[in-house]
Homo-oligomer: A and B are copies of this chain.
């Protein structure tokens, strides 16, 4: 299956997302593959058997969100300079979201921009991170605070890479699928409720559905000036959870699951969501053993954290809240006291 992305009239901004067994890929110029030791051990041999190029270098970076830093990007850039990469060379991101975000960011920076392609190997990267051109790194102030909008030349999604994915990471990817279903597509939500994603064909269908939603949103609003912000459902809260736990306790998708539950609580409080819909989402999260509770130690400090999150602007926080299931709303004037109430209730409910 092929999902097209068309960001503008310029041909350079259009690319395809191919969901299929990885085919043979041939490149005329130099290629560098960025990966980590885990993926390398499991799948690098297969990837290398598919790729022909003028010269191939494999750059292995440490595994984990804590290495998603400017320092790692500078290390990759250094290796590319030593390898005498030029403007016609190609970078390949081979791994999960961290690899994809950093490889894309590196491609955007190297000599003011070279081509790159995404070959995501985690469910989270396949359904979300690899599509849409958001690249970047974390720093001490928060997640993805330094980066670029930079689109790949193609995304190759091969679900067979997921056969080796740990269950917890698989579930973290499902959390992003649930995010898209709740905010954009009630049919897809019901599909996720009743389907068994351990069936490879059904899984491929669910991935294609998620990617189609994401592509449609990105095509409408690449730079997140409007509707794309809806993809941050669960993330405004989730980022604070990740930040407070120093990115060590939860996978990104797990923090998003917790954030979804918090956003739903707020939506119920404000009358945008019915209790029974809240319960259905909670049950779907539980179906994949995703975490849904979190102990908030200091509610005020949790609230303060929103203001450094990049999705906020001036002193108003734009929450993305579900309107029932399959639609969303982005109210911009929610009282602090309402949020504090929800957080207090949520945090003591562990």
Contact = CB atoms under 8 A, between A and B. Distances in A.
A318 to B, nearest CB: 11
Given A148-B109, A148-B113, A312 B77 contact: no
A194 interface: no
Contact of A308 (B77, B81, B146, B314): B81
Interface stretch (A84-92, A259-267, A269-277, A321-329): A84-92
Interface in A63-105: 70, 74, 77, 81, 84, 86-88
Contact of A8 (B10, B109, B146, B314): B10
B108 A148 contact: yes
Pairs of residues from A and B, 7 with the lowest C-beta to C-beta distance, nearest first:
A111-B310, A81-B141, A112-B147, A86-B313, A109-B146, A88-B313, A87-B313
A337 interface: no
Given A9-B9, A113-B223, A87 B146 contact: no
**What is the interface of chain A mostly: helix, strand, loop, or mixed?**
mixed
Contacts of A134: 112
Interface in A38-62: none
Given A136-B112, A314-B29, A77 B148 contact: no
Contact of A307 (B84, B145, B307, B312): B84
A218 B111 CA distance: 17
Nearest to A144: B112
Contacts of A191: none
* Number of chain copies forming the complex: 2
A182 to B, nearest CB: 25
A303 interface: no
Interface residues of A, number: 37
A149 interface: yes
25 contacts: A8-B8, A8-B10, A29-B314, A77-B139, A81-B141, A84-B308, A86-B310, A86-B312, A86-B314, A87-B313, A109-B146, A109-B147, A109-B148, A110-B146, A111-B145, A111-B146, A111-B147, A111-B310, A112-B134, A112-B135, A112-B136, A112-B144, A112-B147, A112-B148, A148-B148
Given A108-B148, A112-B135, A148-B148, 4 more contacts: A8-B8, A87-B313, A88-B314, A113-B149
Contacts of A144: 112
Interface in A101-147: 108-113, 134-136, 139, 141, 144-147
A149 B112 contact: yes
Contacts of A87: 310, 313
Nearest to A146: B109
A112 B134 CA distance: 8
A310 to B, nearest CB: 4
